[in-house]
Amino acid sequence: MATKNIGIREEVYKHLKAHKQGDESFSDTIERLLEDAEGDWRTNFGFLDGEVGEEFAEAVEAERERFDADATARQREIFDAFDGDADG
């Protein structure tokens, strides 16, 4: 069986090592994780943890707030254009 060497960041190595099961090789671990990822998209929720997970969650929340503010402003513009009442 042919093999390939790849370089990965230390952080990625730690995540991968944490997902190893028993005496599973890294190749087997990667294969299992990829097979799992191809199935239910919810499988990997919680995969990002610690500082990376917190930063991602903060970025998602900030984008959600920006989107909500933009949507509210667009809605008001539409109501104003038709002399409607944006508050009901």
What pLDDT digit, counting tens, does each position of 9-19 carry?
999 999 999 99
Long-range residue pairs from 14-21, CB within 8 A, at least 24 positions apart, any chain: 15/47
- pLDDT greater than 60 at residue 88: no
Residue 26's closest CA among 42, 11, 6, 48?
6
Q: What is this structure's pTM?
A: 0.41
Residue 25 has pLDDT above 60, yes or no: yes
Q: Is there a contact between 75 and 86 (Cβ–Cβ < 8 Å)?
A: yes
Q: Higher-confidence residue: 47 or 31?
A: 31
